[in-house]
Amino acid sequence: MTAAGTTDGVGAMTRAAVLVEALPYIERWHDRVVVVKYGGNALAGAAPGEADGDALASFAADIVLMRSVGIRPVVVHGGGPQIGSLLARLGRASRFVDGLRVTDAETLDAVRMVLLGQVNPDLVAAINVRGPVAVGLSGADGRLLVTRPVDPELGFVGDVAEVNSDVLEHLLGRRFVPVVATVGVDEAGQAHNINADTAAGAVAEALRASKLIYLTDVEGIRQDPDDPSSLVPTLSADELDGLIASGVVTSGMVPKAVSCLRAIRNGVGQAHILDGRIPHALLLEIFTDEGIGTMVTLGGGPAR
């Protein structure tokens, strides 16, 4: 289906072994909601040009395969790099405070145009090449994401105050794949920019998702940030608290880690941080015994 490996030369015993391992997960995850945060960073490690397309196609294939075996995936996305790029073309600087983009009215226009008018329909189109299943949404649709202001200094930046998941649930109930751009609206209908990691966690909570998966450009959480061999495969919520407190989890990983913790503690079964650059990372996580990346559960432990 995609170029990432063929089964030529794979023996019957190996095939049977992979199948015997994978099939029980079909039943386990049937009808379950899996929220996947797909970010610009997931693509960052890919080579320029066609490679991006390959990564997007592999991701789209995984989403369609997940759906085809009865899983209910929801895609949540931001688009930081692409917003920066439009602002640059318009001759405007990007300014950040504590990692959040300062968003005045014109910046907000750019955010909306990029996320709703470019990234979202591109993701939808990539998935729909394989069948008419993806439906793009923003936080304004059915007032999916209602915001409250974060800080006057930041302008139109909002926190998620409420998730109206009705429209998501109806689409999932009909086997559509919602693709959500993280622009919300406040009570008065005013648009606000929302951090996509936080929004993904809030959506997963509202849907009581079985899994929340962050596709990033690192292979997971490391015990020693500089040692690739120190990947931590499973963590309890308390252990992750400790890693954040001790500074082992840093910078861009912090909002993801915090969102994982909050989601896990509010009813989401499992949260994952995976390397989105690995072809078919989603399938490997979901359908193999060891999975990949780092999994956080309430109690931790090796049970997947």
Considering only 161, 244, 284, 298, the residue that binds a copy of itself (CB under 8 A) is 284
Tell me: does residue 125 bind a copy of itself (CB under 8 A).
yes
Closer CB to a copy of itself, 169 or 241, in the complex: 169
Considering only 45, 121, 233, 255, the residue that binds a copy of itself (CB under 8 A) is 121
Least gap, CB of 285 to a copy of itself (angstroms)? 11
SS3 string, the chain, reads CCCCCCCCCCCHHHHHHHHHHHHHHHHHHCCCEEEEEECHHHHHCCCCCHHHHHHHHHHHHHHHHHHHCCCEEEEEECCHHHHHHHHHHCCCCCCEECCEECECHHHHHHHHHHHHHHHHHHHHHHHHCCCCCEEEEECCHHHCEEEEECCHHHECEEEEEEECCHHHHHHHHCCCEEEEECEEECCCCCEEECCHHHHHHHHHHHHCCCEEEEEECCCCCECCCCCHHHECCEEEHHHHHHHHHCCCCCCCHHHHHHHHHHHHHCCCCEEEEEECCCCCHHHHHHHCCCCCCEEEECCCCCCC
Closer CB to a copy of itself, 26 or 97, in the complex: 26
Tell me: does residue 183 bind a copy of itself (CB under 8 A).
yes
Considering only 53, 132, 242, 301, the residue that binds a copy of itself (CB under 8 A) is 132
Site for a copy of itself in 204-223 (CB under 8 A): none
Site for a copy of itself in 135-174 (CB under 8 A): 135-138, 140-144, 164, 166-167, 170-171, 174
Tell me: does residue 31 bind a copy of itself (CB under 8 A).
no
Closer CB to a copy of itself, 262 or 277, in the complex: 277
Considering only 124, 154, 194, 206, the residue that binds a copy of itself (CB under 8 A) is 124
Least gap, CB of 241 to a copy of itself (angstroms)? 30
